[in-house]
Amino acid sequence: MANVIDLPIPVETLTGVVDQIMKKRGYVPAESLVGKTIKMKEFSEKYCGKKASNWIRLFIFDEFPEVNVKNGGWVVNPRRTEEGSKTIIFEKPAAEWMDKHRNEIDWNAKLPQ
């Protein structure tokens, strides 16, 4: 008969290790943002403290042109043009960019009257 050792491992520790292994092997969690797109309303609620669409367009999309897909960014049609009017946001790169640049955004800026 084999000797058995009972070794208590906290679930949080085990979960962390499993997550690391899964990430290393390239598995994507079910709630992953990879490949997901969102609309302005959801972007505002999740990443901009429910700021108005006009505020986001002016103080994020206009202020940081690198977020435009045409410039290698993550937002399609940040403003209505002849090419398109529906704004589409690629959530994963948007979330990463917002986290990295959150301190560069003037969150107290006011829309012009």
pLDDT at 83: 80
Residue 47 lies in a domain: yes
pLDDT at 16: 85
Residue 90's domain comprises: 42-104
Tens of pLDDT, residues 17-61: 888 888 888 776 666 667 789 999 999 999 999 999 999 999 999
Residue 84 lies in a domain: yes
Tens of pLDDT, residues 73-88: 999 999 988 888 899 9
User: How many CB atoms lie under 10 A from the CB of residue 22?
Assistant: 12
> What kind and span of H or E run contains 91?
helix 91-101
pLDDT at 17: 87
Give Cα 98 distance to the centre of its chain.
7
Assign 3-state DSSP to the chain and report helix, strand, coil percentages, each to 5: 45, 5, 45
Q: What is the pTM of this model?
A: 0.70
Residue 111 lies in a domain: no
